[in-house]
Structure 1
Amino acid sequence: MDKKYAIFDMDGTLVDSMSYWNNLAGEFLEGKGVAHVPREVIEKIKVMTITESAALFIEEFNLTGTPETVAAEMNAMMDEHYRRDIPLKSGVKEYLDSLHEKGVEMCVASATAEHLMEACLKRVGVMKYFKFLLSCETVGVGKHRADVYFEAAKRLQAKPCDTAVYEDAIYAASTAKKAGFYVIGVYDDSAKLRWKDIEVLADAVIKEF
């Protein structure tokens, strides 16, 4: 990677957390008395921020509360996992260290709330590599739009063409690509059915760090 700047996704890219997130909706809604979550709802929330997902749950399942309060409940469920047991992907620390040695300026842009990102990345020992953490919650929209990438690039004082975006999800990689960023696809088991699509779309790919 020969770019001066790098924007990393977190879940499924830096850390093995996607199985926790994939189970979150079911776990949360089960606690609210929802026995079955339709497949179309699960598909919709894949591209949403947690607050957007919360708003959908309120509408679909007549939950009480606001999108913000429901999102806070869901974040609280993930909080312990980020603080205790979500692991760093194999080889990530060494990879980040090599980029740091080259002088690459790095940040993280994720749909996950910033305080959860910080708790996890500090625990696994890689927070020091990143200038800042940026959540889609902060910019107000998920990665189906490029806002979070543009804001991250702005904070890095970088141009999209000089910036590598690391993503494991095809929809996010596609958004970054259309916005003019150099896209590096990262393999994750949660997205294995779309890996061939990522290989075609991305400028480069990483099967294992």
Structure 2
Amino acid sequence: MDKKFCIFDMDGTLVDSMPIWKSLGKDYLEARGHQPTQAQLAAMGPMTMLEGAAFLMETFGVEGPPERIIGEMHAVMETHYRTDIPLKPGIQDYLEGLKRQGTRMCVATATAEPLARACLERLGVAHYFDFILSCETVGKGKTQPDVYLEAARRMGSVPEDTAVFEDALYAAQTAKEAGFYTVGVPEAAYGQDWPALAALADETILDWRKAL
């Protein structure tokens, strides 16, 4: 595909933050005396922060309001985004190559926009993207296509002319069903889903350093 428009997931695709995100809900609950099951933790995976906070309140009786819970989790993640979460190896060169080709790029992420921007600015790659769009802004997680459709609209593109880069199978499925060209990226946190993602995707990138 001639990639004139690209939508990038951030966590696990551009930056190596998934180990921290994967343990956030568990660490948060255990610090408050709860022992979540693997099924409960898996259920939280596709949720936005707001959906996750509501889930914690309903399932574990964590004291709300949701905004307080989100604030506490954001504080933990903000420290990591501002200090130690790294880029995936080779991603900066890949983005630079697309930029030279005149590709328009944006980020569509479940992470709140201020946190995503803080991370990408620290890593020196924020300038490659026209904008950062959060699922929180559109009010739907990536089990729904809203964030991809809004990102394409803002770039002036349509799904069939737009590549979506994702490491999560459920997110890639959503993009694919909405008509986007999907690019699968392996992420250790979703290792069990890689065969299905590789089969679903129109293209796979095993190593950013060898992608261009």
TM-score range, shorter chain: over 0.9
Unaligned runs of 5+ in 2: none
| Structure 2 match to 1:27 | 27
Note the C-alpha offset of 1:12. 0.4
Secondary structure of the 1:131 match is: coil
**Larger deviation, residues 38-47 vs 76-85:** 38-47
Note the C-alpha offset of 1:75. 1.1
Please tell me whether residue 198 in structure 1 is matched to residue 197 in structure 2: yes
Secondary structure of the 2:40 match is: helix
| Structure 1 match to 2:207 | 208
Root-mean-square deviation (Å) = 0.8
| Structure 1 match to 2:164 | 165
* 1:138-182: CA deviation from partner (whole Å, max 9, x where unpaired): 111110000000010111111001100000000000000000000
Looking at structure 2, the residues matched to 72 and 113 of structure 1 have their Cα atoms a distance apart, in angstroms, of 11
1:1-209 equivalences under 5 Å are: 1-34=1-34, 36-209=35-208
Looking at structure 2, the residues matched to 2 and 191 of structure 1 have their Cα atoms a distance apart, in angstroms, of 28
* Identical-residue share of aligned pairs (%): 51
Amino acid of the structure 1 residue aligned with 2:6:
A
Looking at structure 1, the residues matched to 151 and 144 of structure 2 have their Cα atoms a distance apart, in angstroms, of 13
Looking at structure 2, the residues matched to 37 and 208 of structure 1 have their Cα atoms a distance apart, in angstroms, of 34
Looking at structure 2, the residues matched to 62 and 206 of structure 1 have their Cα atoms a distance apart, in angstroms, of 41
Note the C-alpha offset of 1:80. 0.3
Equivalent pairs, count = 208
Looking at structure 2, the residues matched to 69 and 4 of structure 1 have their Cα atoms a distance apart, in angstroms, of 40
Note the C-alpha offset of 1:108. 0.2
Unaligned runs of 5+ in 1: none
Note the C-alpha offset of 1:100. 0.3
Looking at structure 2, the residues matched to 26 and 199 of structure 1 have their Cα atoms a distance apart, in angstroms, of 28
Note the C-alpha offset of 1:77. 1.0
2:26–2:41 CA contact under 8 A, matched in 1: no
Secondary structure of the 2:130 match is: strand
Looking at structure 2, the residues matched to 193 and 164 of structure 1 have their Cα atoms a distance apart, in angstroms, of 23
Note the C-alpha offset of 1:188. 1.1
